[in-house]
Amino acid sequence: MEITNVNEYEAIAKEKLPKMVFDYYASGAEDQWTLQENRNAFSRILFRPRILIDVSKIDMTTTVLGFKISMPIMVAPTAMQKMAHPEGEYATARAASAAGTIMTLSSWATSSVEEVASTGPGIRFFQLYVYKDRNVVAQLVRRAERAGFKAIALTVDTPRLGRRESDIKNRFTLPPYLTLKNFEGLDLGKMDEANDSGLASYVAGQIDRTLSWKDVQWLQTITKLPILVKGVLTAEDARMAVQAGAAGIIVSNHGARQLDYVPATIIALEEVVKAAQGKIPVFLDGGVRRGTDVFKALALGASGIFIGRPVVFSLAAEGEAGVRKVLQMMREEFELTMALSGCTSLKEITRNHIITDWDAPQARLVPKL
Q: Is 209 annotated as a binding residue?
A: no
Q: Is 230 annotated as a binding residue?
A: yes
Separation CA 85–CA 160 (nearest Å): 28
Q: Is 350 annotated as a binding residue?
A: no
Residues in Cβ contact with 22 at an 8 Å cutoff, skipping those fewer than 6 apart: 13, 14, 316
Separation CA 58–CA 177 (nearest Å): 46
Q: Is 78 annotated as a binding residue?
A: yes
Q: Is 156 annotated as a binding residue?
A: no
Q: Is 356 annotated as a binding residue?
A: no
Separation CA 112–CA 89 (nearest Å): 9
Separation CA 216–CA 229 (nearest Å): 8
User: What three-state secondary structure class fits 204?
Assistant: helix
Q: Is residue 329 a contact partner of residue 271, using CB atoms and an 8 Å limit?
A: no
Q: Is 275 annotated as a binding residue?
A: no
Separation CA 215–CA 147 (nearest Å): 23
Q: Is residue 344 a contact partner of residue 323, using CB atoms and an 8 Å limit?
A: no
Q: Supply φ then ψ for residue 296, to 5 degrees.
A: -60, -40
353 is known as an active-site residue: no
Q: Is 287 annotated as a binding residue?
A: yes
Q: Is residue 353 a contact partner of residue 343, using CB atoms and an 8 Å limit?
A: yes
Q: Is 308 annotated as a binding residue?
A: yes
Q: Is 142 annotated as a binding residue?
A: no
The residue from 150, 254, 296, 324 that is catalytic is 254
Q: Is 337 annotated as a binding residue?
A: no
The distance between the two most distant Cα atoms of the chain, rounded to a whole number of Å, is 63
Q: Is 210 annotated as a binding residue?
A: no
Cα 269 off chain centre by = 14
Q: Is 9 annotated as a binding residue?
A: no
Q: Is 288 annotated as a binding residue?
A: yes
Q: Is 63 annotated as a binding residue?
A: no
Q: Is residue 68 a contact partner of residue 61, using CB atoms and an 8 Å limit?
A: yes
Written as one string, the DSSP assignment of 286-307 is SS--SHHHHHHHHHTT-SEEEE
Q: Which of 104, 46, 83, 91 is nearest to 364 (CA)?
A: 46
Q: Is 223 annotated as a binding residue?
A: no
Q: Is residue 231 a contact partner of residue 155, using CB atoms and an 8 Å limit?
A: yes
Q: Is 286 annotated as a binding residue?
A: yes
Q: Is 181 annotated as a binding residue?
A: no
Q: Which of 126, 127, 129 is nearest to 117 (CA)?
A: 126
Dihedral angle of Cα 205, 206, 210, 214, to the nearest 10 degrees: 180
Q: Is 129 annotated as a binding residue?
A: yes
| Residue ranges of the binding site | 24, 77-79, 106, 127, 129, 155, 164, 230, 252, 254, 257, 285-289, 308-309
Catalytic residues: 254
| Residue ranges of the binding site for glyoxylate | 24, 129, 164, 254, 257
| Residue ranges of the binding site for FMN | 77-79, 106, 127, 155, 230, 252, 285-289, 308-309
